[in-house]
Amino acid sequence: MTTILVTGGAGYIGSHACKALRAAGYTPVTYDSLVTGWQDAVKFGPFEQGDLRDAARLDEVFAKHRPVAVMHFAALSLVGDSMKDPGPYWDNNVIGSLRLIEAAIRAGCLNFVFSSTCATYGDQDGVVLDEDTAQAPINAYGASKRAIEDMLNNFTASHGLRAVIFRYFNVAGADADGEVGEHHRPETHLIPLMLDAIDGKRPALTVFGTDYPTPDGTCIRDYVHVMDLVAAHVLGLKWLEAGKPGRVFNLGTGTGFSVREVVANSAKVTNRPVPVNEGPRRPGDAVALVSGSSRAQAELGWAPIRSDMETMIADAWRWHQSGHYDR
């Protein structure tokens, strides 16, 4: 089987990507520090523990497994945290990515699939965001991802690296088979926090900001199912294998949901009330982020087939109740 190095493969999206890669006939090798990942999520290929900033360790792993491509998910990703303490985001995300890119080039591994984010666009006053929208990040997390995109473009020009960059929106849901799911420490994502509140694992869901210029006063986000997202990553890998040039793709559905709308859908799917507290806005949160993803659909043949809100919540709820979440 063809080997792919998956950084952050013990995390939420990375573990789902490893499952999708395995199903597509690849051998995913997870490279993860386990600072935020979970070793028991590594189920679909070999595991190598290490830090992105450890060049010698990266060289050792590239030499041992000889991957033909890198799928790079590993990153610190808490928007609020990045506003309070930006240093680790530049150190881990940017310096770590530089070490990874340099190691890949030394190993002759020039195909690179990068997990970027819609946070690189900043707050664009509620417009639908496509790949040509100006990037103006408003937090250190988005700025670090934008810097990595620039870095990849530099190495493309100088070393022949080819990168598919995915800027995606809010990822939700879980593997329908229940093998992996969403579990962060600390948990900051809306749907698992809400499911915790529904299940009595926390007193209530806090809604941060109810005075945004939106129909119901809460932030609007575009949600994409994690399995649809990782399917796009496999398509991006095949794009590079076909010899096509580097490309940027947005991944979303083009439909935005407010926080209150997500809460209402969760109550409907679980048939339980959602206890809610209202809190102030968080620094760094945009009003609305909605994707234009026609390029991914037209060029990659990608379709978000599980990304309706009820399916995403139902899959997350099923995994949430499976017992894995409490480990």
Active site positions, annotated: 141
Q: What share of the chain is helix, strand, coil (3-state, %, to 5)?
A: 40, 20, 40
Residue in 69, 292, 321 with CA at minimum distance from that of residue 178: 321
Alpha-carbon distance 234 to 168, whole Å?
A: 15
Residue 265, C-beta contacts closer than 8 angstroms, at least 6 positions apart: 257, 309, 310, 313
Q: How far apart are the C-alpha atoms of 143 and 117, rounded to whole Å?
A: 10
Task: Tell me, letter by letter, the H, E, C secondary structure of 202-255.
Answer: CCCEEEECCCCCCCCCCCEEEEEEHHHHHHHHHHHHHHHHCCCCCEEEEECCCC
Reduce the DSSP state of residue 148 to 3 states and report it: helix
